[in-house]
Amino acid sequence: MKKWRNSREYRIWRVKVIRRDKVCVICGSRSRRAAHHLNHATYFPEQRYDLDNGVCLCGKHHMLLHTKYKRSYRTKVTKRDFEHFKILMDSAKELAIKELKKG
């Protein structure tokens, strides 16, 4: 784990992001909430503790973003990537609702 992730500033940032958003911005779940950096903190250190650079995600969507959308936790994620991921998740949700209404 990176040294900055063990810092007091990071813990404060994480708590503030989760308290601000309260629920996952994708699905509204309160399960296993995590603070996600929109612009990866390693590659954008100047935005590391900026509250505008964070969103609350449930564990499921945080994992999906890093492993399915970006294929690895080691891959740099940017705000643009997150916005694209959110559009994909919203589209999938709309499609599922349409299918349920049909059947």
Q: Where are the domains of the chain?
A: 3-102
pLDDT of residue 5: 84
Token look-up 């989760």 returns 18
How does pLDDT run along the chain (103 residues), one tens digit per residue?
468 889 999 999 999 999 999 999 999 999 999 999 999 998 899 999 999 999 999 999 999 998 888 777 677 889 999 999 999 999 998 988 888 888 6
Contact 21, 56 (CB under 8 A): yes
Separation between Cα atoms, residue 85 and residue 3, nearest integer Å:
28
- C-alpha to C-alpha distance for 48 and 38, rounded to whole angstroms: 10
Token pair belonging to 72: 């690895």
Partners of residue 37 on adjacent β-strands: 54
